[in-house]
Amino acid sequence: MISKIKEFKVLGDNRGQLVVLEGNKNIPFDIKRVFYIYGTQPNTPRGSHSHYKTKQFLVVVNGSCKVTLDNGENKETFNLNKPNIGLFQDSLIWGSMHDFSEDCVLMVLADDFYVEDDYIRDYNNFLEVVN
């Protein structure tokens, strides 16, 4: 297995539902950056890169999408379709998000700030680093 899906506890009552995400509790790192992707096109992938050091946790807060993770030897595709399900993406894992529903909002929690030099954007370079 390349990464793992985590199901978060849902709290709520007749007023609605609530999911809590806490760094170093149910998210396995300090959260330094949060961003979200929306308004995507169903046939246009996002991501298609890896990070040297940054770890991420992906949660679809609305709609659905698929995430394919690749460690250079194995690929695994995960269907994110519930707001209480998250996917951990470790460093040096190639990630691609695709098959977005029209209403998809994908939130990403990261353990570091944006640093362009942390990105590996060429798949062949990625393979050289991990092999």
Active site members: 49
Tell me the two tokens of residue 13.
């009552």
d(CA 121, CA 6): 27
Residues 94, 44, 72: CA angle, nearest 5 degrees = 15
d(CA 7, CA 28): 13
Backbone angles phi and psi of 127, in degrees to 5: -60, -35
Sign, CA torsion 123/126/127/128: positive
